[in-house]
Amino acid sequence: MKPLAAIANALWIGGGVPASRRFARALRAPADAQARWLGAQLQQHASCEFGQAHDFPALRSPTDFARAVPLSDATDIASWISRMQLGEQRLLTADLVTHLAPTSGSSGARKLIPFTTGLQAGFSAAVSAWMVDLTRQRPALIGGPSYWSISPLTDVDEHAASGDAVRVGFADDAEYLGGWATAFVRQALAVPSSVRHVRCQSDFWALTLLALLRQRDLRLLSMWHPSFLQLLVSSAIQHWPALLTAIESGECPWESAIPMASRRDWRAPRDATRAAELRRIGADDWPRWWPALQVVSCWGDQAAAAGRAAIARRLPGVLVQSKGLLATEGVVTVPIGTAYPLAVTSHFFEFLDRAGDLRLAHELHAGDEYEVIITNGGGLWRYRLGDIVECRGHLEATPSLRFLGRGGNVSDLRGEKLTESFVAACLVTLWAGREAPAEAELHAADDGVQAWYELRLDAECSADMSTEIAVRLDTLLRVNPHYALARRLGQLSALRVASEPESLAVRRTAAGPVRLGDVKPRTLVPVARVLPTALFSRGQSP
């Protein structure tokens, strides 16, 4: 256990109590809380270029705001982001843009989201409310270190030579919170942040396991997809003898994968007692590795539900909690007890209903589905996240939301967020300079153990050519940072290619009562339910 972990946790969570109380009060009057938040942002950012162009000082209400500022998406802000990369400031926000965070978007492989102290404050407010509530449920959570893997990390050094004037990515997950919270969280992290530099999948799992197994008092495991924990545990069998030797000796046999300056972080005092305990437990009985574990936080909606349930069955004494809806652009919902209320003190939200009408947070109805529009503290104004949620009721007067999926055709087996438009662009590049097949579909597959993508072609293809195509397409898809990470960690298996000389469209008609003339061309076939793009068309703002 890190000596300062318990103290750092107590200081961090204690420091978040005021934010948690503000959130609790806001739950009772979300309309007032949202109007106050928006008014403060319009005043604060009135001097930036975007604020001047839309006359922020004249906007007095959410209604004024909706009339003056159009809905936007990644395409609409691309030119602003390009200018930020070159070092321009005071464009979308009056605050200093300190980071550009990479994530996937519906219009391409990667988009960059500006990060400021204002946006970090929004994240911190939501996380504080969540952690204070978790501590009420599990007071022992404070007593030891935690493992946090909020999102894929970008190696900052990779972008140093790209010519970007603003840093892309984060040094570690703690930077999402900013300010004093960053220092406290870092003291309680079980795995050194330098693991982000590791490029070998086997070394990544070995190093992460080594750091976690050294922490007998580990209290929290927070990750994105449940498969992350499953893959972590399964890799222990391969590395078990070396892991036990490293714990006993205090050395790190995989330190060559870490930059020289960070290698000392991976050495520890000799711990023969811990090594002997783990040797008795064995590599298979992982629930006994961390006897003080209190909480596992992971995705639990849609395709991830089965994985979360499997973890809960193995850890009957541990709170296995589904995450709220969290995006790089902001926090949408906060887990509070068994509810997932809107993060009304972190950002300003609007929602498009099925009819295309706009609604505010206090206007949502239980049982209805909505597309989320966010205005955050980092320069995104009326930004369409593309996430579809269902109102499941209310906590106090604030809607409790359940994430349903991405609007449009998106495949998200392990957090990769592949969109049809991106896959189509990759296939155009794949066939450049060669004869393209009449039909090519990228199918998602998940058998409950493994997940992978299979490119199905309507033409004969030799084994050598299939291998070449699979490698080339996998390389193109890795431009998406989430797909690249899922492949590197083994959450997604290698891409496959299947030759099916019969028309793929004809095959689809055999699966059900569908006329061939009604079968539309497609390039991406997800496993999970996908909401049709027509449900929430990209119209003009009201």
Tell me the per-residue pLDDT of 139-166, one tens digit each, with 9 for 90 and over.
999 999 989 875 434 444 444 434 567 7
Q: What is the pLDDT of residue 438?
A: 61
Q: What is the pLDDT of residue 432?
A: 85
In a 3-state reduction of DSSP, which class is residue 42?
Answer: helix
Give the helix/strand (H/E) hosting 115.
Answer: strand 108-115
Q: What is the pLDDT of residue 370?
A: 94
Residue 246 has pLDDT above 80, yes or no: yes
Residue 504 has pLDDT above 60, yes or no: no
Confidence grade of residue 511 (pLDDT, cut at 50, 70, 90) = very low
Confidence grade of residue 225 (pLDDT, cut at 50, 70, 90) = confident
Q: Which amino acid is at 229?
A: L
Q: What is the pLDDT of residue 420?
A: 76
Mean pLDDT, rounded, of the chain: 84
Q: What is the pLDDT of residue 151?
A: 45
pLDDT in tens, 386-438: 888 999 999 999 999 998 877 777 888 888 889 877 888 898 889 887 777 76
Is residue 119 within 8 A of residue 407, CB to CB? The reply is no
pLDDT in tens, 455-496: 988 777 888 889 999 999 999 999 999 999 999 889 999 999
Residues 6+ apart with CB under 8 A from 165: 85, 86, 87
Determine how β-strand 369-375 pairs with β-strand 383-395. antiparallel
Is residue 531 within 8 A of residue 407, CB to CB? The reply is yes
Residue 226 has pLDDT above 90, yes or no: no
Helices then strands, each counted (H, E), the chain: 16, 20
Q: What is the pLDDT of residue 434?
A: 78
Q: What is the pLDDT of residue 14?
A: 85
Q: What is the pLDDT of residue 109?
A: 54
Q: What are phi and psi of 529, to 5 degrees?
A: -60, 135
pLDDT in tens, 88-117: 999 999 999 988 887 754 444 578 899 999
Is residue 103 within 8 A of residue 327, CB to CB? The reply is yes
> With pLDDT > 90 as the criterion, what percentage of the chain qualifies?
56
Q: What is the mean pLDDT of residues 261-279?
A: 95
Residues 6+ apart with CB under 8 A from 464: none
Q: What is the pLDDT of residue 172?
A: 55
- Cα angle, residue 275 at apex, residues 270 and 278 outer, rounded to 5°: 155
Q: What is the pLDDT of residue 233?
A: 85
Confidence grade of residue 508 (pLDDT, cut at 50, 70, 90) = very low
> With pLDDT > 70 as the criterion, what percentage of the chain qualifies?
84
Question: What is the DSSP code string of 189-229?
Answer: BSS-GGGGG---HHHHHHHHHHHHHT-TT--EEE-SSTHHH
Instruction: Specify the range with the lowest mean pLDDT, choosing from 174-188, 277-291, 304-318.
Output: 174-188
CATH (one of 3.30.70, 3.60.21, 3.30.300, 3.30.530) for 410-531 = 3.30.300
Q: What is the mean pLDDT of residues 271-283?
A: 97
Q: What is the pLDDT of residue 173?
A: 58
Residue 247 has pLDDT above 60, yes or no: yes
